[in-house]
Every structure is written in C-alpha cells, then in structure tokens.
Structure 1
Amino acid sequence: MSAVTVTGFKDDEDSHPIITERRGNVTGFRRVTKGLVAIDTYGNEFKVPDFSIKDILSAIPKQCYERYWYKGMSYIFRDIFFAVLFGYAASVLIPQVPNQLLRGFLWFAQAVLISLPYTGMWVMAHECGHQAFSPYGSLNDTVGWILHSYLLVPYFSWKYSHGKHHKATGHMTREMVFVPATKKEFLDSRGVLHLSDIAIDAPISTLYDILVRQLGGWWAHLLVNASGQKYPGYSGLQVSHFTPSSPIFEKGEYWFIVLSDIGIVCQLFVLYQWISHFGTFSFFVYWFLPYIFTNHWLVFITYLQHTDMTLPHYEDKEWNFARGAGSTIDRKFGFIGPFFFHDIIETHVLHHYVSRIPFYNARIGSKAIQKVMGEHYRSTDKSMWKSLWEASRYCEFVDGDNGVLMFRNHNGLGVKPID
C-alpha cells in the first residue's frame, strides 16, 4: 500500500499539489506557468516539466512501497560484515609487508575499502530517517540513531533538515542544502560589481575548492549550516545541526535534537574507550581514516545528485513539488554504487518523488516514473570523477529571468550569464 496518499486532487492543467511527507498526504496546490523554457549551461534548451505529482505516483507499482525490516537488517549486517572483513584482512596481511612505504599505502587503501560499507551503513540510516527501512517508526529511529551516531551524525537533526530538503528541492529560498548562489550573491562574495572584474579561476583553484568541499564540507554543513539556507540575524553556531534551538528545526523537535547530541557524546565515549584499549593507531586506521573517506563519499554523492549543467533551480513563483523533485539527476558508479551504496546514486530521482520506497524496490519504481517524465528525466553515464570536476568549473552560481535559474560561471565556460 502506498505510503503517500493523494487526496482532494484538483487536476486542472496548471495546478499541482504539494506533498507533505510527514503526514503522507497532499495538502495544497501551486499554480505555475506552463510551457516555460530555459537555456542550460551547455546552451541546450531546457523545457520545464508540466506533469503533476499525481501522474508520477500513479505510475509507481504498489509493490514498490513494501518495506521489510528483516530485509533492511540483512543489508546492515552485510555492511558490518565487509567492514570487519576488510579490517581483519588488513590486520593480518599488512604487518607482514616489509617495506614501510608500501605498508603505509596499504593502510590507506584499507581505509578506503572500509569506508565503502561505512557509507552503506550511512545510507541505511538515511533510509531509517525516511521511514523506508521498515513499517515501524520506533525501529526505524532506533536503528538510524545507532548507525548515524556511530558515524558522528546527529540522527534526528539530520532527519528533520533533510526532510525539509525533500519538501523544497530546487527551491531558491526554501531548499536546505547545496543552495546555489545567485549571480548577485556570487559577485558580492567577490566584492565586485561585474563578472569582468574577476579573474578566471585557474584549475588549481578549482582543485583546492574541491578538496575543501570533499574533506570539510560535511562538517561545515553540520556545524554552521554551510551551503544551507541563510538565516539572517543568526550566527553560524546558532544555525548548527547540534543546536536544539536552531531555526532549522521546529519547536517540537527540540528534545529530539538533544537526543541526537547524546548519540554523538556516546560515540565519542566509545572512541575514547577504543583508543584506551586498542591504541591510537588502531583507532586511526580502522575508524578515523574510514570516517574521513565516508564523509568524502557523502559529499561526493549528494553534490553530484543536485549539481549538474542541465539541472534547474526555481524561484518561488515557478516552483512546485513535481518540478523540484525532478531537478535531480541519476548517475552510475560502477559496482560500488549498487552494492555498497545501496543504489542511492542510481535511483535518486525516484527517491525525491517518494522517499519511503526502500532502495531494494527503487529500480522498478525508477523505470516506471521515467515513462511519465520522458525527456525531463535526468541521468548520465559520465564518470562521476569527471562530472565532479566539470560541475565545479561550470556551476558557480545560477541565473535566469523567468523564474527558472540555470547554472552559470565566470570561467568563460558554456553560456554566459545575463548582463
């Protein structure tokens, strides 16, 4: 049975509903302009979609909504098994390598390997936050709180802010993460009035920006809401995901944020005990380095799900849920994406339309909605590493004059911004 119920539909040709996921129903409508067209960063015509959320939901087979707690647990146990396997194999084999430099490289490699199932556990906690893990809310939140706390993620804090992200994807003033700068905001950040006053960024500058985002972006987002929505009058730490009174959250969520913080404190105590009993080196190679790479994978995945030269953002007057959810893109990441990352990369568009569909049913649902979306469905087979570089060079800010904003840059790449 569908977890999202469509009620009170006014199905005229230019009205669409807004989904309120927490209640699982449709609560209102937004009137938008039909037949809108924009030009993407490459210079291609982007036709703004006009299908309704009802069209999308009607296409998804009912079996996609079935959630089985034991199936979800089996994937968690599989992730834990591989994390332990990689760590155990490293502890047995690497010390036997005589060359110190090679041993260092192998410890680095095993940290990358452990980060793959760690990221899988992160994704399963994310499923819990969306109630896609099982039909039982208390089980979902317990499992999600444990998994996310292990990875120093404030579970409920992230659950609530991420839920708002899903309700306003692609909305310039309500989106919660990877909110792009407008042209004016970009110029203000550089302290100039015209793009011509800014030197083109050298590739080395782009590489620096990528490294900063990949290695520190996740913690910056949690601590001071970096890349999130602006809250005038609040300092960085006041909008932190660790602050129960942050404007990110509703008043009724206060004690759940406290519970999230308690989870972090518990995990810090676990890590202290780890170091005390097994030493700093064990902590460093089996938890800390994999944790750093896990954060990298998280930013790598989410940045590229919402940043691409073909994706739009919308001003309030032209946004609705169907358009916003469609302003995401599916990518492919070889064997790692489906096996270790639980298809979060390959079926993300569907996930934004109905986040309670468990990942193991998402392939079927994704194929179904593609028939409705047609040319509006975004996917690419391009290497994600190449996409990361291109998006960082091409997608510096958004610009547009009809309520539909597309990515532009000052590097002379693709379509020039409006003067």
Structure 2
Amino acid sequence: MVQKNDGVTSVEQGVYPVPNIPMKELLGAIPSHCFERSALRSSTYIIWDLFVIGCIYKAAATLDPLIDPTHIQLPHPQAYTALRFALWSLYTFGTGLFGTGIWVLGHECGHQAFSESKMLNDIVGFILHTSVGVPYHSWRVSHAKHHASTSHMTQDQVFVPHTRSELGLPPLKEGQEDLLGSRVSEQVRRELYDALGDSPIGAVINTACYLLGGWPAYILFNTSGQKRYPKGTSHFNPSSPMYAAHHYNQVVVSTIGIVAWASCIAAAIYYKGFVTVAIIYIVPYLWIHHWLVLITFLQHTDPILPHYRAAEFTFPRGALSTLDRSLMGDCGKVMAWIGAHATNGIAETHVVHHVCSKIPHYHAWEASAALSKVIKGYGIPHEGRPVGWSEFYRVLRECKFVEDEGDVVFFKNAEGIAVMRPGFPDMSASDSGVDIGQESKK
C-alpha cells in the first residue's frame, strides 16, 4: 500500500525473513534417490531434444514447397510470402526452445549432474555447449562461483545489482528518504526518476537489447557481471581474475572450441548462403540465448529478493535468494507445459538446483516439491511470477539499484522505493526458555 502525505511517499513493505536454516535440514528434506545420476537416462533427453528439433525441421521443410499457388489458393500473392515467413518463424521458435533444452543438459554436465563420471560429463558438456556457442569450461568455472556465492554483492558472478554510488546518484538524504526505501520525499523521487526513469519506448528497447545482446556481452565483456573485476575481464581470457592458474588450459580449450564453432558457421554461410544459415541455425541460436538471459535474469532478480554483503552471507541464504518461475506460464497451461518440457524444467526447479546442483533435472521436480514444504514453513518467498517478456519489463523497471550501506539489501525502483525489508530471527531466546546467549557461553 502506497500513501502520500505532506510531499512524502510511504509504502507498506513486506518483510523478508532472513533464514538461518542449516544445509543439513534443506538436503535432508530431499528424497535420497533424487541425488542419483544416470548417464543412460540423461542421454535419452539429448536424443529426445535432437529428435524433436529434427522433426520440427522436417515438418517445416516439407510444408514449405506446398505454400505455392499450385497447392493452395491464397487471396494475394504476398500472402504466400507471409505464410512462409510464419512457417519458418515457428521453426526458429520451436528449435530455439528445444535448443535451450540442449543448453540445459550441457549445463548439467558442468555441475556433474549428467552422470557419475567426471570425464563423461566434461566430454558431453563440451560438445553440447560448444554446439550452442558456449565456452564450456570457461563458463563452467564462473558459473560454479556463482553457485557458491549467489546474491553475494562482491562475490557473485552475474546479475550483480548496481549500487547508488556506482550509478552516480545523489547520496542518501537523511530526513527525506530512509535507507530501507519505505519513505521518500517528492523532491528525492523526482531527482531519482530524472536519473533512472525510462520512457515506455526506452524500456522496451532496453529489454530487447538485454535479451538479444546480454549473453555475448557477459561472455565477452563481463557486462552485468561482478563489478570488482577489472576492465578486460572476459570468459575468453585465461588470465581473467575469475580464473585460477590451473584453469588456464581449460579456458584455452574452450576458446578453441568456440573458434571451431564459429568457423563451421562461416563455412556453412559460404557454401549455403547467409539467409539459409540464418534461418536454420542463427535465429534459433538467438532464441536459445534469449531464453537463457530471460530465465536466469528472472530467477535472480526481483524486488522481493535480497542481496547480501559479506557480514550476513551464508551459502543457504544465497541458495534460497532465488525464485522458481513457470516458463511461458503467462500464456496458459499448455504453453507452460511446453516451456517446462522443452527446457527440462530449468525455470521451474531453480531453488532446489541452488541447494544441490548435482541433482539431475528429471529428479528436480520431486526434489523441488519436497524442499518447497520446508521453505514455505519458514515463510521464505520462492515462487515468482511466470517467465515472460512482460515480467522481464516489469522487473527491469522496478529493480534499479541497491544502497551502498546495509548487509541485507533489496532493490529500489526509479523513485527510491523498495517493496521489501529484511527481518531477522529473534536470537534473544530459544523455545526451551534457555537464553541463547548464556547457553553459548557454557
């Protein structure tokens, strides 16, 4: 609820219960068989995804010659072009969706969730990720750091919030706004909005640029990555600060793989022509990384999610500062099922994936349901709105910056308002009546 009195806007904030849940309790809630990994079962999903992609291509290639006056009568000559465009647009959309499923399986290999063999995981992961333009080892290493420090302001690797000072905003004005973002004066609101506010058109353009260019920008230039890394940090630079010395050769091998991948695309363009390659591969590739950015951004970015500085960060807190969302759930149950099936549930089971990343996706549904019961018992929000363009647009507009101060911080919008504040457990007494402070001294 928002109230405006005497030139001051006040908002009734929700309270996020900062958890102190032991990992043993979180892992103990998950059935033991969910941790089992099977190379054979995992491989069937690769075969299925490739089979579906092949069927989509075969269907499009078969129907294309039939869009002709000798087979069907359309009211205008341009209608044939429009119908053919629609056909191949559906091909690129469907291929991109199931191609994202291939990306997810490569991602599981990087987490050692594909099988019990590290060698097999790395071989399969290298092939799958290279095929969709991902430097396997380079990203595997940085992604592992992301899992170790999820939502840590100075250790997380991606989707790290900008702070007030990083954006060059005026310092916090005592008396006119509070640190938690529950009260803001009209003057401060105008100042912040002038600096951060987007027009609807500008926000749409920013959304499109982020979704289409976000992945290569992050891999190449660390855009939206950890702010403390120096200029020149890149997933293709084996000397980047995100890597240790023993990662050097792995980064080089990954880079060679991407050079080979790009060379294959260039050769295909030379022999088949740019338009053909663009339709068959490049546009589906853009769809894949559009989904990758859309899904992962919304899993880790929302006004209701906290970010931690070192004093309050723990692994369980970071793991639980993520959201499960339904991919394309805003388009109805059928599209939600297609989205979850095609992408192997990456959006819908993300919280349990952060609690234990070695759980394969086919067990993640059951594990997620079991874990959810524990999380709900603590009142921790873990289910977000469905993944879609409108939700991305909303979150992008509501999550502008966090404060330079505070060990648990929440996003503020372009007017300096935050919808959540941290709530810490009462550590003054235990349920047994024994004072915790006194007990710890014994």
Percent identity for Structure 1 against Structure 2: 40
On the 8 A contact 1:215/1:296 being kept in 2, the answer is yes
Q: Tell whether 2:251 aligns with 1:257.
A: yes
Structure 1 pair 42/118, CA: closer, same or farther in 2 (3 Å)?
Answer: farther
Separation in structure 2 between the aligned mates of residue 227 and residue 42 of structure 1, nearest angstrom = 30
On the 8 A contact 2:294/2:387 being kept in 1, the answer is no
User: Equivalent of 1:218, from 215, 219, 224?
Assistant: 215
- Kindly provide the CA deviation profile for residues 48-74 of structure 1, in whole angstroms up to 9, marking residues without a partner as x: 111111211122211011000011111
Structure 1 pair 76/357, CA: closer, same or farther in 2 (3 Å)?
Answer: same
On the 8 A contact 1:218/1:295 being kept in 2, the answer is yes
Structure 1 pair 46/100, CA: closer, same or farther in 2 (3 Å)?
Answer: same
Structure 1-normalised TM-score?
Answer: 0.84
Separation in structure 2 between the aligned mates of residue 326 and residue 383 of structure 1, nearest angstrom = 18
What is the match of residue 8 of structure 1?
A: none
Structure 1 pair 382/143, CA: closer, same or farther in 2 (3 Å)?
Answer: closer
Structure 1 pair 383/253, CA: closer, same or farther in 2 (3 Å)?
Answer: closer
Structure 2-normalised TM-score?
Answer: 0.80
Q: Tell whether 2:68 aligns with 1:64.
A: no
Structure 1 pair 95/414, CA: closer, same or farther in 2 (3 Å)?
Answer: farther
What is the match of residue 113 of structure 1?
A: 94
On the 8 A contact 2:15/2:420 being kept in 1, the answer is no
The equivalences for 1:1-400 within 5 A come to 43-98=13-68, 99-188=80-169, 196-197=190-191, 198-199=193-194, 200-231=197-228, 234-235=230-231, 238-333=232-327, 334-374=336-376, 375-382=379-386, 384-399=388-403
- Kindly provide the CA deviation profile for residues 270-307 of structure 1, in whole angstroms up to 9, marking residues without a partner as x: 22332344332221111000001111000000000001
Separation in structure 1 between the aligned mates of residue 161 and residue 12 of structure 2, nearest angstrom = 18
On the 8 A contact 2:301/2:399 being kept in 1, the answer is yes
What is the CA-CA distance between 1:100 and the residue it aligns to? 1.4
Separation in structure 2 between the aligned mates of residue 157 and residue 383 of structure 1, nearest angstrom = 27
Structure 1 pair 176/220, CA: closer, same or farther in 2 (3 Å)?
Answer: same
Structure 1 pair 55/271, CA: closer, same or farther in 2 (3 Å)?
Answer: same
On the 8 A contact 1:337/1:344 being kept in 2, the answer is no
What is the match of residue 38 of structure 1?
A: none
The DSSP-based 3-state class of the residue aligned with 2:168 is: helix
On the 8 A contact 1:399/1:405 being kept in 2, the answer is yes
On the 8 A contact 2:152/2:309 being kept in 1, the answer is yes
What is the CA-CA distance between 1:356 and the residue it aligns to? 0.2
On the 8 A contact 1:180/1:397 being kept in 2, the answer is yes
On the 8 A contact 1:217/1:226 being kept in 2, the answer is yes
Separation in structure 2 between the aligned mates of residue 161 and residue 383 of structure 1, nearest angstrom = 24
State the one-letter code of the partner of 2:394: E
What is the CA-CA distance between 1:381 and the residue it aligns to? 4.8
State the one-letter code of the partner of 2:407: G
Separation in structure 2 between the aligned mates of residue 413 and residue 405 of structure 1, nearest angstrom = 12
What is the CA-CA distance between 1:416 and the residue it aligns to? 10
RMSD: 2.3
Separation in structure 2 between the aligned mates of residue 294 and residue 383 of structure 1, nearest angstrom = 15
Give unpaired runs (5+ residues) of structure 2.
Answer: 1-10, 69-79, 174-187, 328-335, 422-442
- Aligned pair count? 373
What is the CA-CA distance between 1:367 and the residue it aligns to? 1.8
Higher Cα Rg, which structure = 2
The DSSP-based 3-state class of the residue aligned with 1:336 is: helix
Separation in structure 2 between the aligned mates of residue 411 and residue 82 of structure 1, nearest angstrom = 47
The DSSP-based 3-state class of the residue aligned with 2:325 is: coil
* Higher mean displacement: 43-52 or 193-202: 193-202
Give unpaired runs (5+ residues) of structure 1.
Answer: 1-40
Separation in structure 2 between the aligned mates of residue 362 and residue 388 of structure 1, nearest angstrom = 25
Separation in structure 2 between the aligned mates of residue 88 and residue 411 of structure 1, nearest angstrom = 51
What is the CA-CA distance between 1:378 and the residue it aligns to? 0.8
Separation in structure 2 between the aligned mates of residue 215 and residue 75 of structure 1, nearest angstrom = 27
